[in-house]
Amino acid sequence: MALTILVFPLRSTWWGATLLAMAEAAVIGGVADWFAVTALFRRPMGLPIPHTALIARNWELLARRVGEMVGSRILTKAYVQREISQIDLAGLLGRLADRVSKEDLLRVTSLAAAWLADRMSNETTEGVVARLRRAVADRPLAPAMATALDIARQHGWDDRAVETIARALAGAMDSPSVWSTVNDVIDDALDRYRRSLGRGARLVAFAAGALGLVDRDRIIGGLREYMIQIANDATHPVRLEIARVVAALPDRLRQDPDLAARVELFKVQFLDSAPVDALLTDAAADLRRWLAGDLRAERSESAQWLAARLDEGRAALAAEAELRRAVDVWAKRCAIQLVDQHHEQIGAFVEKGVRTLGSDGAVRLIEEHAGDDLQYIRVNGTVVGGLAGGALHLVIVMLQHFGW
């Protein structure tokens, strides 16, 4: 514009006229490109000119098209799966396992424990219990029980459970309250047994009790000693019989439809029981209080236990290349299955992200990232317009010179 004003008085000369033509064409080119670029984002000068503010008016269509382009043309299913398969996860696990120490794991678990403790509430635990109940209710129980029993037998947990229960029962019999309860049970059993006998046998039983031949304390002491024997002797007949029953139970749960049906019926009745519902709610509340208190402790037992388990896994990954390869194969297989099942959500996710920007946000984002280039477009329009105007003027001058 300034050049146009300066050379306007010199338009009578050929070079002045050429400069004036170039300046005028540059102004026209610059204004045209300014209008075109501005029309992408907003109405030029606020005027309601048709087909302007294109991005602001069509940002929802833009979001959908960007999502479709990313999902179906850029991050295609084949491309994502190929990239996942090429990741050296085994090597990454090995390097990570070498660098991480038990102290690092303990710090991480302690921080996670403190964060979790601050966010635990009655509503949280009730929600977890509700989800677990729904999960149990929606799935057959017999196959899960069979798998759990197989895992327990592989690790010897079933035998240790029998030993623990036997020791707990033996120890409980030392409690006065338990002792009194067992006495009452024995008295009731003996009384019902006497009533079931004939008159002569009942007289003999009464005489045996009077002479101290039937001693409740002796019976309880014998039960306690029997529990201790079961706990201490891995070859005890009771433990061997329990092991035999447990070993056969998984196959029965999988192959016996009647047993599976009974287990399922018990599950339904158990979950629908009001006392069980109250028990689960109270147990969840007690667990939440204990866990929250433990997680807030300076040396949380839960955090230390988890850190110890994670360190065992870290040591195993560091030492066993085969384990790392197995984890690599498993993780990639799961990731590829997820991509196969949910690939269409990639485009939907991108579209949703663009939509959340809104029309003003989309305009600002594009201007922030392409602002300099947009300015150069305007400058280029000015330069190209000026050169084109000057060239056309020279062509006209030459044609007039030769009389055309």
Return the pLDDT at 178. 61
Q: What is the pLDDT along the chain (404 residues), one digit of tens a residue?
A: 565 666 666 666 666 677 777 777 777 776 776 667 667 667 776 667 666 666 667 667 777 777 778 777 777 888 888 888 888 888 888 888 888 888 888 888 878 777 776 776 766 677 777 777 777 778 888 888 888 888 888 877 777 787 877 777 777 666 666 667 666 666 666 666 556 655 555 555 455 454 444 556 666 677 778 778 877 888 888 888 888 888 888 888 888 888 888 888 888 887 777 777 777 777 777 777 777 777 777 777 777 888 888 888 888 888 888 888 888 988 988 888 888 888 888 877 777 777 777 777 766 766 666 666 666 666 666 667 777 767 776 777 677 767 66
Return the pLDDT at 211. 46
Return the pLDDT at 208. 47
Return the pLDDT at 23. 74
Model confidence, pTM: 0.46
Return the pLDDT at 369. 65
Return the pLDDT at 403. 67
Domain ranges for the chain, please list them: 2-83+344-401
Return the pLDDT at 7. 64
To 10 degrees, the CA torsion angle through 54, 55, 56, 61? 100
Return the pLDDT at 14. 61
